[in-house]
Amino acid sequence: MNQDHLYASLEPVGNLPNIFLVADGMGGHKAGGYASSCAVETILDEAGVCPDEAAEQILTRAIRRANEVIACRAGEDERFAGMGTTVVAACIEQGELIAANVGDSRLYVIHDDSIEQVTEDHSLVQEMVKYGGINKEEARVHPNKNIITRAVGLEQELQVDCFRKMLHPGDRVLLCSDGLTDMLEDEQIRRIIDKKKDVRSAAEKLVKAANDNGGRDNIAVIVIDPFT
């Protein structure tokens, strides 16, 4: 069952000039798939009517609204109890990337021989790395690497992290679920995106490489070339 959900629009959504979303749901039976699709639909609906003009405020308000809707649905139907989802969201405005995230789905910026993880995972192992308990290499193979510390639908007062970054010609932006990053190291991701000029081909090759490496989870990716 696919519990990932994604959406991309180059057209405006409300006051956003464009929008890109990846959500990775969690929960038994159909709950995870419902949580991720509900999050994406709610974010789009809320962003479309949000009166705010700053992208961070729009994305934050929309993700918090998704948190409320999913929590309410979980409380109404025991089949959906405990469901939640990660969300990574982005838009690009006048050459600047604005991103927001909850959970461990990621956003990267790739340029030539460099790859930068812009978002920060809300996960147990990331907390351990942050406070010096383990290093990044150990985190990749840690048995608790998929335990997240923050999720949409499971928080009473959801904290949403936001980021801004200027983009430059040649940059590629990647949004992805942990189905990709659990199977591929950052350098492998960089090489695949760097070698492929077409973003669709790059996305397809990322999914294939992750599946070839084991493919233990659903894999959702969006690759963006901001300057084409």
What does each of the 228 residues of the chain score in pLDDT, given as a tens digit?
889 999 999 999 999 999 999 999 998 667 999 999 999 999 999 999 999 999 999 999 999 999 999 999 999 998 899 999 999 999 999 999 999 999 999 999 999 889 999 999 998 777 776 666 676 665 666 666 678 899 999 999 999 999 999 999 999 999 999 999 999 999 999 999 987 778 999 999 999 999 999 988 899 999 999 988
pLDDT for residue 213: 93
The alpha carbon of 123 is separated from its chain's Cα centroid by a whole number of angstroms, namely 13
Q: How far apart are CA 147 and CA 104, in angstroms?
A: 9
- Residue type, position 187, single letter: E
pLDDT for residue 112: 83
Calculated CA dihedral for residues 88, 126, 33, 62, nearest 10 degrees? -30
Residue 116 CB neighbour total at 10 angstroms = 13
Beta pairing class for 84-93 and 106-111: unpaired
User: Are the C-beta atoms of residues 88 and 105 closer than 8 Å to each other?
Assistant: yes
Tokens representing residue 122 in the block: 């809300």
User: Are the C-beta atoms of residues 44 and 7 closer than 8 Å to each other?
Assistant: yes
Q: What is the DSSP letter of 152?
A: B
pTM: 0.93
Instruction: Give the orientation angle of helix 199-212 with respect to helix 186-195, to 10 degrees.
Output: 140
- State how far the alpha carbon of 132 is from the alpha carbons of 6, 118, 147, 149, in Å: 33, 20, 18, 17
Residue 5 CB neighbour total at 10 angstroms = 25
Q: Which of 95, 92, 72 is nearest to 84 (CA)?
A: 72
DSSP, collapsed to helix, strand or coil, labels residue 146 as coil
pLDDT for residue 116: 97
Tokens representing residue 188 in the block: 């492998």
Tokens representing residue 24 in the block: 């990775």
* Residues whose CB falls within 8 Å of the CB of residue 96, separated by 6 or more in sequence, listed in order: 164, 165, 166, 167
